[in-house]
Amino acid sequence: MTYPPNGGAAPPGQAGAPTMPAVPPQSGPPVPASKSALPDATPPRRTAWAEGVDRLREAATTEPGRLRIIGAVLALLVVAFGAVTAWQMTERSAAADDVLHSSQPLSASAADIYRSLADANTAASSGFLAGGQETKASRDRYELDIKTAAAKLITAANSSEPGSPSAETISELNKLLPEYKGLIERARANNRQGYPLGGAYLRYANEKMQQQMLPKAKHLYQRENQRLSADYADAKPYPWAAIGLGVLALGGLVWAQRRNYRRTNRVLNQGMVAATAASTVVLLWLVVGHSVARAGLDESYDHGVRSLNVLHDARIASLNARGNENLTLVSRGAETKKLADGKTTVDVFDYDFQQDMKTLTKGLTLAADLADDKAGEAPVQAATGNMKVWKSRHQEARAADDAGDYQGALNKVIGSKNDKPTGECFDGVDKNLALALTHEESEFKQAAGDGLDAMTGLPVGAAVLAVLAAAGALLGIGRRLSEYR
């Protein structure tokens, strides 16, 4: 028998040929050597939120887990109720404080600025009519009005926000005031020497006052009134968000106690009862306190602010009427205008006087309607009587002036031995309106102060009681949980 050379293997089937193990055929494509290892079968990690939800779901299937969830929800509701109550009532209390101590006093100061400027203009014209014999009382009144206006402008400037429209108006008035005063001094100097130029300077001063200064002062007054109205609007609305949370928190506490009773047959849980009592106190304090505060603020507006605004407008109208009455005699018909019909010519200042008296009449009528007691009604009625006499004396003065009796008309306006002046009536109107303003100011402060007092301590008290209520709810739930240990 021969073998292949070089020790090769015998041909298959021949004796001595080595045998090889059978390899089962592969059913699929061959796997590369690099991927022969089995892949990792561990699933990816779930998110913390999903795991937390699963844990919460598992906890909710047991009574201790349910109690923990109920305790957490109740504590959150009660704390949210206290926090929202403290927040909303802090805002309303601050707005009510602004009404009493900021916006209304600034509105009154703006009205005083207007009144002082108008009265200074009236006093200047009254002194001018006296010629070179200007009385000391007239001079002192003018100087006092100028000083008052300057002081009120400083106060208003300190209270206004830099760059605001009110601050700009105050700055403009501060520039115009010395210009006006300079014109008045020139008018007086020429009048003492008997120069007709004095009347021209007085008319220039009046034009500056009527067309520039008083309109700016009026705008300042209107803006401060708008600010006052905004503060009222912030202070009066009911805190519905806090009330809603309070009702929800109380409902949750009652439900939790009922659930506890049904499972344990125990009527009271001290912690839950304490939480319910504290939450009830906060809710009642919130509703009753704010209702009382709202009533006080409503009263302060209806019987205080509204009356003050009407009285301020009436006093300003009387000041303007007196100034125009004086200027009618100063101008001696030099300033005229045509009415809407295009035919009738009237004296400018006398026409303005008539319009001012209409405003005054309307204002006094409304002030009498708003007065809610005798102390407020009496000065308004007295001012109305003074106004009626004023109208009668003014007609007599105009009749004398139209008849060419200038001195007779002058005597009826500034007074003489035989004539009672219209200035006496004007002083009566102004004095009685000042008394009415003082009374209404006092009523406003009383009512607004009562409204503010009703909210005092509510924000802090609500926060403290809410924390105690949350602690009580947690302690009550904790006592139930201790039974499972």
Q: Does the pLDDT of residue 18 top 80, yes or no?
A: no
* 282: its two tokens: 């906060």
Confidence of residue 42 (pLDDT cuts 50, 70, 90): low
Residue 267 is given by DSSP the state S
* CA gap 186, 205 in Å, rounded: 10
Mean of all residue pLDDT scores within the chain: 84
Its pTM stands at 0.76
Q: What is the rounded average pLDDT of the residues 340-363? A: 86
Helix or strand (DSSP H, E) at 343: none
3-state secondary structure of 67: helix
Residues whose CB falls within 8 Å of the CB of residue 181, separated by 6 or more in sequence, listed in order = 146
* CA gap 35, 199 in Å, rounded: 114
Question: Exposed, middle or buried, 194 (CB in 10 Å: 0-12/13-18/19+)?
Answer: exposed
Residue, of 465 and 32, whose pLDDT is higher: 465
* 284: its two tokens: 């009642």
Q: Does the pLDDT of residue 456 top 50, yes or no?
A: yes
Say if CB 203 and CB 331 are below 8 A apart.
Answer: yes
Residue 73 is given by DSSP the state H
Say if CB 325 and CB 353 are below 8 A apart.
Answer: yes
Closest CA to 82 of 452, 457, 460, 456: 460
Say if CB 111 and CB 440 are below 8 A apart.
Answer: no
Q: What is the pLDDT of residues 278-291, one digit of tens each?
A: 999 999 999 999 99
Q: What is the rounded average pLDDT of the residues 94-121? A: 90
Say if CB 119 and CB 145 are below 8 A apart.
Answer: yes
Q: What is the rounded average pLDDT of the residues 49-66? A: 73
Say if CB 462 and CB 78 are below 8 A apart.
Answer: no
